[in-house]
């Protein structure tokens, strides 16, 4: 084995009185992919931020090429060749793709910026990822998965010695993930040391050379990837054996609760019609850019749309999220950071924002809010070091659970969940699947929009597949297979596209 | 209730400069004032300071909501002058009809409130429905109101009918329990404002919109309506402040209320409300207003520093307050800037701000 480029010795980290990492020994070798796995809140991101110079360890230290180092900030780490891609995006929304890719290291010709060179280089890097984006688009104009691709391309363009990737594939679909993994293979062959984390364990099995498992801030296992199956990884993470991931499917009732007729979201979706029955779980599959999110946002009134939406037979006035909520229809966004949570506000304020009127008679009943928070902690197994912390300081997966708790507090009859398990560990995934199934059994109806086919197939009574802006078809019961879904998704996309 | 108190772990005890800062500054000013001049602590002087704070204070309470919701209103000073001008003209023109009595003063007050609300609503509609930047809209209306009042006064001064002044005078000069009406009204407005900010859905929604408008939209908050309401409330409070102000001089001109907007905004910021929105506290604004008036008062009483430097010292205090604010964000929000995740502002973490 080669000598490590970057290693951590007995690294500990506390936030105030709460310790989240305990004496972790860890190293990264050239030409090797080292996977760090663990439950939500286990301390993966914290460890990665310490290695990437974003956080200081409160105990222990780092070595680079055998010599002790301490990075004053991430810029110094970057200068030393250690680049990190964050779990949450780190892009300036109002700047263009190109500006973001070169922020802080702009190419110049004399005193002026060399736009042509930067654009060409951005294009080249994005094309290597099979992501032909126009570098002149603003980040705010591109989709979430494409933003992730920009983050990755930016890191790839920096000739990293050490590349740290915190859940880079959480927002990507299978095809895009495959491209990314190929790129990682290429970097590994070139001698880059890579630290990788993901909650998709088959991905870990595919890409990792070595695996380290964290549980509650302790290193609990360290093995060569060849010696661990995904099941063993899951067990090491959770600390118990996991039974079947998906619960039994319920049988939907006959009553129709939601009817969408000829819904058109300009530029994204044209003439979409579908229905949802009581107690049904409807899966929505499709490639990135198919307009799944846009369709659902149109249904609940978050986007301008034409067409009719009827809840329990009553037409919903367009453009009002509040009206939808009052009719019992809520939507849980896929973009928890920008649209889901107020990262700088307390957990309590976040939890009750959607259903605040339930806690208000002129005055907000803070005691009731606190009780709701306690209940959400147990119901959704939210692990927060401190009740008073800001939502932005929760680990990514726990943010997702908080968002779910917030949505359910509105006590909806119909829940549309966009990417329910993005960034969620396998143990919690199982809990969320059971939760969705329980909702259906109670006679509520759920729409699950997901890029994970296994999830759609494992949960849904019926699957609706979207092509580019169209509903390409529906599959029910035994007809729901991976092949059938993919074929539908590809078919429409090749035929025609929605004019923007 | 028991549930909440038993399950909530004790908050971390930390010397929080951001909470204590404005209070400490005010106490320091009072001590300085008392040592420099004995008459500073006299009841007469202190009530005088409070009464002079009242106009800006009433407006600043409304401004706290506007800023917390991520907005700004530069037009309040001009709006106050305009409201005063209209109010005086209406009252003067009704003297022959109604006589110079209490009913007419009440009519004048109603006019002030209505004009204030209407002017605030105009700002609100342009900002939240038409979608123009708050800074631009209120910069525009500031010019409009200022020039309208100058035009109404024909470049000079609009004076209240002499007989009416006598009837109206007590609203500024009288009071109960040794407190003049402006102080009492300011106190009531401040208390209602503080309760509204901390304990009502409206306050919570303002902070949510200021913190991240998209999250608020996705959380079924009526963003446009709440934002419009903040401007309307501010307009109403400008009307209320004008009602208290007019009997003091009994006149209005193009110079009435000049720079009030800056004083109000400064008071809000000194009080710890975040200029970019997302967090606001009304009690801080009250302290901020008092700090600004105390500085002026001390400079007038003590002859060490020229009163002409009043503005300079106030400016230093505002900048200092913002520096303290930043300290707070950086110590408690490790990886998140106050506006992380917002659509209009973005950031790149560096250890300096981590
Ligand atoms: N700035 C902070 N202040 C307080 N606590 C923090 C802060 N950052 C992280 N934590 C806590 O540290 C613990 C570890 O968080 P971390 O983000 O490293 O988890 P993770 O393993 O990356 O989880 P996930 O899979 O959900 O992303 C969590 O309990 C989290 O709440
Ligand atoms: Mg993480």
**Pair A71, B352: CB distance under 8 Å:** no
Distance A500 CA to ligand 2 centre (A): 36
Chain B hits for A319, Cβ within 8 Å: none
Among A158-162, A467-471, B301-305, B337-341, the minimum mean pLDDT is found in B337-341
The residue-averaged pLDDT of B138-143 equals 96
For the domain spanning A6-238, the CATH number is 3.40.50.300
Contact: B9, A362; criterion CB under 8 Å: no
pTM of the model: 0.81
pLDDT at A144: 76
Strands A462-466 and A281-286: parallel
Name the residue of A15, A218, A233, A429 to mutate for ligand 1: max ligand atoms within 8 A of Cβ. Answer: A15
A387: closest chain B residue by CA: B8
Of the candidates A94, A340, A356, the beta carbon closest to that of B215 is on A340
In chain A, list all ranges with CATH 3.40.50.300.
6-238, 256-493
Q: Is the confidence at residue B326, as pLDDT, over 70?
A: no
Task: Decide if B306 touches A, using CB distance below 8 A.
Answer: no
Give the closest residue (by CA) to ligand 1 atom 24: A40
| d(CA B312, nearest CA chain A) in Å | 33
Chain B hits for A371, Cβ within 8 Å: 3-4
* Ion ligand 2 residue ranges (Cβ < 5 Å): A 44-45, 87, 396
pLDDT at B333: 38
Contact: A344, B335; criterion CB under 8 Å: no
A323: closest chain B residue by CA: B220
Q: Is the confidence at residue B327, as pLDDT, over 80?
A: no
With a cut of 0.85, is the ipTM above it?
no
Alpha-carbon separation of residue A105 from A80, A98, A163, B346 (angstroms):
15, 11, 18, 18
Contact: A94, B346; criterion CB under 8 Å: yes
Residue B343: band (very low, low, confident or very high) from pLDDT cuts 50, 70, 90: very low
| d(CA B196, nearest CA chain A) in Å | 8
Return the H-helix or E-strand segment holding B180: strand B179-180
Distance A337 CA to ligand 2 centre (A): 13
Burial of A412 (0-12, 13-18, 19+ CB in 10 A): buried
Distance A19 CA to ligand 2 centre (A): 16
- Considering chain B, what is the average pLDDT of its residues? 83
Q: From the CA of A39, which ligand is nearest?
A: 1
pLDDT at B18: 65
B343: closest chain A residue by CA: A93
pLDDT digits (tens, 9 = 90+) for B39-89: 888 888 888 888 889 999 999 999 999 999 999 999 999 999 999 999 999
pLDDT at B186: 95
Chain A hits for B215, Cβ within 8 Å: 338-342, 353
Q: Is the confidence at residue B303, as pLDDT, over 80?
A: no
Of the candidates A140, A331, A386, the beta carbon closest to that of B343 is on A140
**Pair B134, B127: CB distance under 8 Å:** yes
Please give the average pLDDT of every successive group of 10 residues along chain A, which has 500 residues: 86 90 93 93 92 91 91 87 84 85 81 85 87 85 81 84 90 81 87 92 92 93 90 86 78 87 90 92 86 92 91 89 92 89 93 92 90 92 88 88 92 92 85 90 93 88 89 88 84 49
Distance A389 CA to ligand 1 centre (A): 11
pLDDT at B325: 65
Helices (H), B154-222: 162-168, 170-173, 181-199, 201-211, 213-218
CATH 3.40.50.300 at A256-493, yes or no? yes
Domain boundaries, chain B: 13-330
The structure tokens 């200021």 sit at B210
When the candidates are 1.10.3470, 2.40.160, 2.60.120, 1.10.10, the CATH number that belongs to B13-330 is 1.10.3470
Q: Tell me the percentage of chain B whose pLDDT exceeds 70.
A: 86
Residue B8: band (very low, low, confident or very high) from pLDDT cuts 50, 70, 90: very low
Contact: A353, B332; criterion CB under 8 Å: no
* Number of neighbouring beta carbons within 10 Å of residue B162: 10
Ligand 1 atom index nearest CA of A87: 27
Q: Tell me which residues of chain A, numbers 64 to 103, contact chain B at a CB-CB cutoff of 8 Å.
A: 72-75, 90-95, 103
Name the residue of A21, A38, A41 to mutate for ligand 1: max ligand atoms within 8 A of Cβ. Answer: A41
Q: Tell me which residues of chain B, numbers 212 to 251, contact chain A at a CB-CB cutoff of 8 Å.
A: 212, 214-222
Chain A hits for B217, Cβ within 8 Å: 302, 321, 339
pLDDT at A430: 87
């Amino acid at each position: 084995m080669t000598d490590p480029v970057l290693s951590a010795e007995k690294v500990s980290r506390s936030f105030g009185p709460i310790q989240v990492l305990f004496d972790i020994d860890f190293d990264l070798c050239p030409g090797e992919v080292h996977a760090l796995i663990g439950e939500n809140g286990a301390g993966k991101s914290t460890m990665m931020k310490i290695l990437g110079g974003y956080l200081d360890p409160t105990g222990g230290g780092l070595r680079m090429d055998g010599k002790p180092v301490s990075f004053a900030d991430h810029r110094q780490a970057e200068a030393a060749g250690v680049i990190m891609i964050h779990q949450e995006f780190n892009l300036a929304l109002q700047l263009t793709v190109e500006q973001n890719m070169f922020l802080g290291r702009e190419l110049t010709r004399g005193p002026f910026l060399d736009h042509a060179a930067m654009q060409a280089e951005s294009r080249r890097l994005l094309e290597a990822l099979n992501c032909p984006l126009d570098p002149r688009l603003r980040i705010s104009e591109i989709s979430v998965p494409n933003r992730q691709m920009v983050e990755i391309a930016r890191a790839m363009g920096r000739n990293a010695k050490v590349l740290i990737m915190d859940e880079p594939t959480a927002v990507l679909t299978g095809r895009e993930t495959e491209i990314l993994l190929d790129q990682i293979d290429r970097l590994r062959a070139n001698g880059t040391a890579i630290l990788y984390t993901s909650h998709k364990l088959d991905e870990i099995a595919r890409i990792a050379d070595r695996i380290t498992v964290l549980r509650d801030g302790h290193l609990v296992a360290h093995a060569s990837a060849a010696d661990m199956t995904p099941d063993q990884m899951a067990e090491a993470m959770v600390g118990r054996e996991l039974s079947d991931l998906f619960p039994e499917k319920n049988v939907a009732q006959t009553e129709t609760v939601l009817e969408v007729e000829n819904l058109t979201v300009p530029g994204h979706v044209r003439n979409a019609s579908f229905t949802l029955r009581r107690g049904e779980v409807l899966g929505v599959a499709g490639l990135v850019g198919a307009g799944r999110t846009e369709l659902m946002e149109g249904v609940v009134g978050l986007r301008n749309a034409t067409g009719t939406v009827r809840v329990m037979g009553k037409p919903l006035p367009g453009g009002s999220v509040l009206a939808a909520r009052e009719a019992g229809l809520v939507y849980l966004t896929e973009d928890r950071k920008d649209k889901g949570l107020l990262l700088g506000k307390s957990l309590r304020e976040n939890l009750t924002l959607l259903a605040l009127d339930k806690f208000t008679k002129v005055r907000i009943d803070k005691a009731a809010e606190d009780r709701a928070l306690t209940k959400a902690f147990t119901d959704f197994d939210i692990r927060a070091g401190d009740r008073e912390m800001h939502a932005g300081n929760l680990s990514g997966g726990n943010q997702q659970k908080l968002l779910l708790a917030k949505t359910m507090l509105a006590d909806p009859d119909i829940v549309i969940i966009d990417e329910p398990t993005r960034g969620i560990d396998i143990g919690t995934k199982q809990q969320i699947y059971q939760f969705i199934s329980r909702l259906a059994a109670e006679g509520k109806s759920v729409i699950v929009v997901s890029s994970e086919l296994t999830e759609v197939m494992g949960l849904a009574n019926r699957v609706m597949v979207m092509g580019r802006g169209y509903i390409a078809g529906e599959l029910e019961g035994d007809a729901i297979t991976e092949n059938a879904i993919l074929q539908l998704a590809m078919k429409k996309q090749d035929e025609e596209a929605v004019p923007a | 209730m028991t549930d909440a108190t038993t399950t909530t772990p004790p908050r971390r005890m930390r010397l929080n400069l951001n909470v204590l800062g404005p209070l400490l500054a005010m106490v320091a000013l009072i001590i300085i004032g008392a040592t420099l001049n004995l008459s500073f602590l006299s009841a007469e002087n202190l009530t005088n300071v409070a009464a002079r704070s009242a106009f800006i204070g009433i407006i600043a309470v409304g401004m706290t909501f506007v800023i917390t919701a991520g907005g700004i209103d530069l037009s309040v000073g001009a709006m106050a002058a305009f409201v005063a001008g209209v109010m005086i003209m209406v009252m003067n023109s009704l003297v022959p009809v109604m006589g110079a009595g209490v009913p007419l003063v009440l009519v004048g007050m109603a006019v002030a409130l209505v004009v204030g609300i209407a002017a605030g609503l105009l700002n609100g509609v342009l900002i939240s429905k038409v979608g123009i930047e708050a800074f631009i809209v209120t910069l525009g209306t500031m010019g409009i109101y200022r020039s309208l009042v100058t035009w109404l006064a024909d470049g000079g001064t609009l004076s209240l009918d002499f007989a009416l002044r006598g009837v109206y005078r007590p609203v500024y000069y009288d009071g109960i329990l040794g407190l003049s009406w402006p102080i009492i009204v300011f106190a009531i407005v401040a208390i209602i404002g503080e309760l509204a900010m901390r304990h009502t859905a409206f306050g919570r929604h303002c902070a949510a919109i200021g913190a991240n408008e998209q999250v608020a939209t996705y959380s079924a908050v009526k963003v446009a309506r709440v934002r419009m309401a903040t401007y309307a409330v501010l307009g109403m409070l400008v009307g209320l402040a004008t009602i208290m102000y007019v009997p003091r001089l009994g006149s209005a001109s193009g110079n009435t209320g000049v720079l009030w907007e800056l004083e109000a905004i400064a008071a809000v910021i000194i009080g710890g409300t975040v200029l970019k929105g997302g967090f606001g506290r009304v009690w801080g604004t009250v302290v901020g207003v008092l700090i600004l008036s105390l500085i002026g008062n001390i400079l007038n009483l003590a002859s060490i520093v020229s009163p002409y430097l009043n503005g300079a010292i106030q400016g230093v205090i505002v900048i200092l307050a913002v520096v303290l604010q930043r300290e707070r964000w950086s110590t408690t929000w490790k990886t998140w800037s106050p506006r992380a995740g917002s659509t209009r502002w973005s950031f790149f973490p560096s250890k300096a701000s981590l």
